[in-house]
Structures are given as structure tokens and as C-alpha cells.
């Protein structure tokens, strides 16, 4: 058995995981809203709830939280729209998701498993790890060319 890390180190790690879980929900909503707007032109709370597998009241509560965070606006009978801040977050989340999926695929993980696993991993990966993932993919691409 390995020795325990220093208390501060362990507390920082657990704190990071708690924080990631808290923001993961918002990130999933923003990413889905962006996808719905891009493909169907609208993001209705009913569609959001169904696609995330949550109840309509849960979706409404989370959309209210997104409004408080200035990530979305919502108009009665018109659906949900991303603010500029929400668009920026959606782009960042989508890029992070794509990078994690690409690394998993490069490691030989099947497509469906890579997509599903990326949904969890993407919220917990640090910027340092993401940078390393990008370098890994770049190096792998260079090796294939050689």
C-alpha cells in the first residue's frame, strides 16, 4: 500500500473533484443547448430534459441556474439561448470533449465507449493533462507520417 499524500495535497485533489462535479452539469447543459441550437435551431426545456435523461422540473431548475451564471437567456415559449459567455463555454467544452474522445480512440477504445467515457473524463481533466493529450495526438500523427 502506498503512503498517503500530504493532507493539503489530498484535500486539493478532492476539492478539485468536487468542483468538477459541480460544474459538469452546467457544462453538459451548455454543450447540449449549443448542439440543439446548431442542429434544430431551438433548445426547448422539454428537449433538453429528454436528451439529458432528467425530469422537466430538473431541467427548468438547472436552466434557472444557467441564467444566474449568465450562460443562457430564456424567453417564454421560445426556448433557451446561449449568451456570449455560454457560447464561449460551449466551444471550450466541445473542444475538450473532442480531444478526450480522440485520445481514447487513438488508444484503441471503440467509438461508442470513447464517446460515453469522454462524458465523464472531460470534466475532471486538468489543462496540463489536456495539453499532454494534444501533444500525444500530434506525436502519434507525426509517427504515422514517418
CATH number of the domain at 132, please.
1.10.60.10
Same domain for 72 and 103: no
> Model confidence over 8-48: pLDDT tens digits?
888 877 777 676 677 889 999 999 999 999 999 999 999 99
What pLDDT does 20 receive?
67
Decide: residue 54, CB within 10 A, 0-12 exposed, 13-18 middle, 19+ buried.
Answer: middle
**CATH code at position 41:** 1.10.10.10
- Other C-beta atoms within 10 Å of 69: how many? 15
1, part of any domain: no
Same domain for 102 and 55: no
β-bridge partners, 82: 72
pLDDT at 3 exceeding the cut of 70: yes
What is the C-alpha separation between 107 and 133, in angstroms, rounded? 11
129, part of any domain: yes
28, part of any domain: yes
114, part of any domain: yes
Higher pLDDT, 7 or 32: 32
What pLDDT does 101 receive?
96
What pLDDT does 1 receive?
86
Range of the domain at 109: 87-145
Tally of structural domains, the chain:
2
> Model confidence over 40-82: pLDDT tens digits?
999 999 999 999 999 999 999 999 999 999 999 987 778 999 9
What pLDDT does 78 receive?
81
β-bridge partners, 81: 73
55, part of any domain: yes
What is the C-alpha separation between 131 and 134, in angstroms, rounded? 5
59, part of any domain: yes
CA atoms within 13 A of residue 53's CA, in its CB half-sphere: 2
Same domain for 74 and 11: yes
What global pTM score does this model have? 0.81
Same domain for 106 and 77: no
Put residue 62 in one of left, alpha, beta given phi > 0 → left and psi -120 to 50 → alpha: alpha
What is the C-alpha separation between 127 and 54, in angstroms, rounded? 29
Same domain for 96 and 54: no
Amino acid at each position: 500500500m502506498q503512503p498517503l499524500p500530504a493532507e493539503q495535497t489530498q484535500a486539493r485533489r478532492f476539492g478539485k473533484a468536487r468542483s468538477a462535479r459541480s460544474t459538469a452539469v452546467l457544462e453538459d447543459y451548455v454543450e447540449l443547448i449549443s448542439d440543439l441550437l446548431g442542429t434544430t435551431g431551438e433548445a426547448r426545456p422539454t428537449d433538453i430534459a429528454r436528451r439529458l435523461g432528467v425530469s422537466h422540473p430538473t431541467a427548468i431548475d438547472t436552466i434557472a441556474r444557467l441564467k444566474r451564471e449568465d450562460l443562457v437567456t430564456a424567453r417564454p415559449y421560445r426556448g433557451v439561448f446561449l449568451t456570449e459567455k455560454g457560447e464561449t463555454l460551449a466551444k471550450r467544452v466541445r473542444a475538450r470533449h473532442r480531444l478526450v474522445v480522440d485520445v481514447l480512440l487513438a488508444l484503441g477504445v471503440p467509438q461508442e465507449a470513447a464517446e460515453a467515457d469522454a462524458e465523464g473524463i472531460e470534466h475532471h481533466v486538468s489543462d496540463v493533462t489536456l495539453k499532454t493529450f494534444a501533444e500525444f495526438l500530434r506525436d502519434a500523427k507525426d509517427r504515422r507520417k514517418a
